[in-house]
A and B are shown apart, each in its own frame.
Chain A
């Protein structure tokens, strides 16, 4: 039976609602539930699960809909009651009034004298107008929200530039400003490397690698993934470069991006030429062939880019970056041989299950040189597009952060459940030799990664004796999850941990390659 409650004019952000739904689903007698704002899109989503009742259908955009499918009326009623309690639960601290929430932007500006940055994470269709309000109030903006129209992005960025303000995003997941991790960012050392990144995961990877090598970050500016598109013209990336060029605390600049549109790349290289500081760059999946300037250092992987930036920061010889990678490869080769020796002859394929989109790109840059092309739901070359993202064939890497997986559920960096299922189901296939994973730590990510990921890993090893699981852990010692704790926990279960995603990809590739020769 299905019970529905509509709360008119009650707005909650989708993440809070999904957390409530997750808890409802774990209640005894509850078969399924939906806790959503009754927008057209959400109605479409819950229709698929059979929870679209006439009441929900009638509700509007600003109404909250709670629908519970349960075995008994009692179970449904108690779930609805639980939903109300969860939604009304006040965060700790709010009770005292000391940590009072501002009723709106106006009051927030009054409460926090000298506010200079706003992080906006409301639904995309409202985010643009809100960002414009923030710019109007002279606030720099980090726009975490996605689904903001492209024209709005251009409009906002132009408005910001005119006012000497910065708009990071839309769809900007990570930034580090004045040492503070914003949204999905890690706790990294401060230092003299300034980063501009069009990729959140990429920024997390390079900033943690830099920090773990003993160097540090001055500022890390996220641009949002569309910034380097032709329509946007890298407005934020260029502005970020100018800001870092003028920043006395920044000695080295590191650019992380997908390959920009050729015309946009011209603009970017022109800007790089003007900078009187060394610039390292990674345009993942693309190459810069032209000579930009003497102290410009392009890279092929995030790892290489981060290490080059470290060398520049520390005044080391650039060769040191290659040495670090070479040493890691040497160690990996030994491991790979040991792993390959355990394989059964049927075990041939690699399956990469990623929560970070940029890691999927990086895997496609590294792995084909070792084991040939890879199938993917987010292929660099369309030829290798998986027909069905849930049915992996051959060597394959999937980005579980793609919209096809995340509509109506939290990002795989927070909620491991979908990937956990795939770890178990892929491991059960006799042709699978290596499962390649990323574990991303930091603020905003899953706070109990071990609790969530170890059970499926144990099950995977139980069902597939010859299986190798290779992972990288993106994080630092000062992250709330503590990198070494997570690494030890995974290693204790037999997971092979590498210092970077690139290194993990190489190890995984070598295992497959060596066992193929057997």
Chain B
């Protein structure tokens, strides 16, 4: 028998389960830590054993996928019209957030967003016509994610919408996102009133040309550097983008002034300045470009996509060949705007969880003290959420760092095996849409991803590991 050194060492105890067991320890001066416990997401222990047997294969695949994600250098390299640049984009195709879904199963805000897009495209004159056309079968729907694109909330992209082009200059892959419309009644929250369409039209004819010319003059903007700095300035670049938007503004303003008329430049810059969320779509496209680089690694259990369509929550794995694993989308816990309650809220919606997938948003919430009221009001809670995410990630970012954690890199590369085993679910910042089409945003908050998609993804992974 090997000698057990327990009696000769200072006793240091980890208690898992009953917290009352720490009383005797503290009374006797013994150092101890309480570890939270959650049951695994999957009851079948054989699946875990199967993965354990191939642990080195999986670890190697995950290292490879994570290295590609961390090595990504996403830059804003240009803008164009969706139809011209998004792969597979068609006139009668509308891209939406989250996993695939039919018109019948779509939630109110997504339907509203699609109706707005059809009116925006001139395919329908009024909401009634738009709704009829949307349900007619003439219009096709597909997830943004299946077209290298991402969109916040309803995530609607139609053919003539202008989009940012983000290039991962390390691997050469591209991602696309629409421009952020601001707060209030906006398409992405399912609003389709005339003012919504009007703003979108100005974005196409005023904002888009101004920004496109400015980006052309600059030759590109390093988005990764902006996000890294924004984390030091109190953003987590999902629910809070004030610092990142400001940094973007500093980067682009001189070029906008040089390339546009004073009136057009002023209007474009005022719009960005008046919209603290302007950077959100860029932070999502940056995340998409980074994660896509880590896709397609055989036997990698890293999560490459988390996205919601307001009905289902979907997950894709790096080694999952584009398969969606889905489950019902939960209704977020949130701070609601005056006059609204949880009863008004639509289940979770949007591609913006791509930021969490990339180690930002809820995963970096310890960097954003200003938004802790969403998590119970205490900075310590935000820190706890970020620390918990290290339990389910394969690594840490080498660029995105959190000052409060002594500049530790943000938890990056969600490992579905760790999620399934620990029962710890990804923590996501989110906006909340009204469940009825046309109303818009009713609050903002946080939620844990639902267990089902991760359980299914893990089961598939464990069964298909080679």
A binding-site residues for B, Cβ under 8 Å: 8-9, 11, 13, 15, 61-62, 91, 95-97, 99-109, 111-123, 126, 129-130, 134, 139-140, 144-145, 161-166, 177-183, 185, 187, 218-219, 239, 242-243, 246-247, 249, 442-444, 480
Q: Does B383 contact A (CB under 8 A)?
A: yes
| Inter-chain contact A179/B28, CB cutoff 8 Å | yes
Q: Does B27 contact A (CB under 8 A)?
A: yes
Cα separation A105 to B418 with both chains bound (whole Å):
12
B32's nearest neighbour on chain A, judged by CB, is: A112
| Inter-chain contact A443/B391, CB cutoff 8 Å | no
Contacts A105-B35, A242-B1 given; indicate if A444 touches B11 (C-beta within 8 A): no
Instruction: Among A8, A116, A139, point to the contact of B450 (Cβ < 8 A).
Output: A8
Cα separation A134 to B17 with both chains bound (whole Å):
14
Cα separation A112 to B22 with both chains bound (whole Å):
14
B45's nearest neighbour on chain A, judged by CB, is: A129
Residues of A within 8 A of B448 (CB): 9
Q: Point out which of B2, B4, B45 has the most chain A C-beta atoms below 10 A from its C-beta.
A: B4
| Inter-chain contact B380/A95, CB cutoff 8 Å | yes
Cα separation A439 to B80 with both chains bound (whole Å):
79
Instruction: Among A102, A122, A140, point to the contact of B34 (Cβ < 8 A).
Output: A102
| Inter-chain contact B14/A139, CB cutoff 8 Å | yes
Cα separation A62 to B39 with both chains bound (whole Å):
7
| Inter-chain contact A165/B4, CB cutoff 8 Å | yes
| Inter-chain contact B38/A119, CB cutoff 8 Å | no
Instruction: Among B6, B36, B450, B451, point to the contact of A177 (Cβ < 8 A).
Output: B6
Contacts A104-B424, A114-B12, A120-B16 given; indicate if A249 touches B7 (C-beta within 8 A): yes
Q: Does B388 contact A (CB under 8 A)?
A: yes
Give residues of chain B (1-55) contacting chain A, Cβ–Cβ below 8 Å: 1-7, 9-21, 23-25, 27-28, 30-41, 43, 45, 48
| Inter-chain contact A115/B43, CB cutoff 8 Å | no
Give the distance to chain B from A15, nearest Cβ to Cβ, in Å.
Answer: 6
18 contacts between A and B (CB under 8 A): A9-B425, A62-B41, A112-B31, A117-B11, A121-B17, A130-B37, A161-B1, A164-B4, A166-B4, A166-B6, A178-B6, A178-B11, A180-B25, A180-B28, A182-B21, A239-B1, A242-B1, A249-B7
| Inter-chain contact A108/B33, CB cutoff 8 Å | yes
Residues of B within 8 A of A134 (CB): 14
Residues of B within 8 A of A161 (CB): 1
| Inter-chain contact A9/B450, CB cutoff 8 Å | yes
| Inter-chain contact B39/A108, CB cutoff 8 Å | no
Residues of B within 8 A of A115 (CB): 12-14, 33
Q: Is the interface of B mostly helix, strand, loop or mixed?
A: mixed
B binding-site residues for A, Cβ under 8 Å: 1-7, 9-21, 23-25, 27-28, 30-41, 43, 45, 48, 330, 378, 380, 383-384, 387-388, 390-391, 422-425, 448, 450-451
Cα separation A161 to B3 with both chains bound (whole Å):
10
| Inter-chain contact B16/A130, CB cutoff 8 Å | yes
| Inter-chain contact A95/B378, CB cutoff 8 Å | yes
Sort A-B residue pairs by CB-CB distance and give the 7 closest, nearest first: A164-B2, A121-B17, A103-B388, A443-B24, A97-B380, A108-B35, A181-B24
Cα separation A104 to B48 with both chains bound (whole Å):
17
| Inter-chain contact A178/B7, CB cutoff 8 Å | yes
A88's nearest neighbour on chain B, judged by CB, is: B376
Contacts A62-B423, A96-B380, A97-B380 given; indicate if A444 touches B7 (C-beta within 8 A): no
Cα separation A140 to B9 with both chains bound (whole Å):
12
Cα separation A121 to B30 with both chains bound (whole Å):
18
| Inter-chain contact B11/A91, CB cutoff 8 Å | no
| Inter-chain contact B38/A11, CB cutoff 8 Å | yes
A122's nearest neighbour on chain B, judged by CB, is: B17
Cα separation A99 to B32 with both chains bound (whole Å):
10
| Inter-chain contact A91/B19, CB cutoff 8 Å | yes
Residues of B within 8 A of A105 (CB): 14, 16, 35
| Inter-chain contact A164/B14, CB cutoff 8 Å | no
Give the distance to chain A from B333, nearest Cβ to Cβ, in Å.
Answer: 11
Instruction: Among A91, A102, A119, point to the contact of B17 (Cβ < 8 A).
Output: A119
Cα separation A105 to B35 with both chains bound (whole Å):
6
Residues of B within 8 A of A103 (CB): 35-36, 384, 387-388, 390-391, 424
| Inter-chain contact A8/B330, CB cutoff 8 Å | yes
Give the distance to chain A from B73, nearest Cβ to Cβ, in Å.
Answer: 30
| Inter-chain contact B378/A117, CB cutoff 8 Å | no
| Inter-chain contact B27/A116, CB cutoff 8 Å | no
| Inter-chain contact A120/B43, CB cutoff 8 Å | no
| Inter-chain contact A116/B9, CB cutoff 8 Å | yes
| Inter-chain contact A118/B380, CB cutoff 8 Å | no
| Inter-chain contact A129/B17, CB cutoff 8 Å | no
Residues of A within 8 A of B330 (CB): 8
Cα separation A125 to B13 with both chains bound (whole Å):
22
Residues of B within 8 A of A180 (CB): 11, 13, 24-25, 28, 30
Cα separation A161 to B48 with both chains bound (whole Å):
23
Cα separation A96 to B23 with both chains bound (whole Å):
18
Give the distance to chain B from A207, nearest Cβ to Cβ, in Å.
Answer: 13
Instruction: Among B11, B388, B423, point to the contact of A11 (Cβ < 8 A).
Output: B423
Instruction: Among A99, A123, A181, A444, point to the contact of B39 (Cβ < 8 A).
Output: A123
Cα separation A384 to B19 with both chains bound (whole Å):
39
Cα separation A145 to B16 with both chains bound (whole Å):
11
Residues of A within 8 A of B391 (CB): 103-104, 106-107
Known A97-B383, A116-B12, A122-B17; further 4 A-B contacts with Cβ < 8 A: A61-B39, A117-B11, A119-B13, A442-B24
Cα separation A61 to B15 with both chains bound (whole Å):
23
Residues of B within 8 A of A112 (CB): 12-14, 31-33
A152's nearest neighbour on chain B, judged by CB, is: B45
A162's nearest neighbour on chain B, judged by CB, is: B2
Give the distance to chain A from B86, nearest Cβ to Cβ, in Å.
Answer: 35
Give the distance to chain A from B424, nearest Cβ to Cβ, in Å.
Answer: 6
Residues of A within 8 A of B24 (CB): 180-183, 185, 187, 442-444
Instruction: Among A8, A100, A246, A480, point to the contact of B380 (Cβ < 8 A).
Output: A100
| Inter-chain contact B41/A102, CB cutoff 8 Å | no
Q: Point out which of A91, A103, A243 has the most chain B C-beta atoms below 10 A from its C-beta.
A: A103
Cα separation A15 to B21 with both chains bound (whole Å):
12
Contacts A103-B424, A119-B15, A144-B17 given; indicate if A246 touches B3 (C-beta within 8 A): yes
Residues of B within 8 A of A15 (CB): 18, 20
Cα separation A239 to B10 with both chains bound (whole Å):
20
Residues of A within 8 A of B17 (CB): 13, 119-122, 144-145
Contacts A247-B7, A480-B27 given; indicate if A129 touches B16 (C-beta within 8 A): no
Instruction: Among A101, A119, A243, point to the contact of B36 (Cβ < 8 A).
Output: A101
Cα separation A480 to B28 with both chains bound (whole Å):
12
Residues of A within 8 A of B43 (CB): 61
B34's nearest neighbour on chain A, judged by CB, is: A101
Instruction: Among B12, B20, B37, B451, point to the contact of A62 (Cβ < 8 A).
Output: B451
Residues of A within 8 A of B384 (CB): 97, 100-101, 103
B10's nearest neighbour on chain A, judged by CB, is: A114
Residues of A within 8 A of B34 (CB): 99, 101-102, 108
Give the distance to chain B from A509, nearest Cβ to Cβ, in Å.
Answer: 34
Residues of B within 8 A of A140 (CB): 4, 6
Give the distance to chain B from A156, nearest Cβ to Cβ, in Å.
Answer: 14
Residues of A within 8 A of B13 (CB): 112, 115-119, 180, 182
Residues of A within 8 A of B380 (CB): 95-97, 100
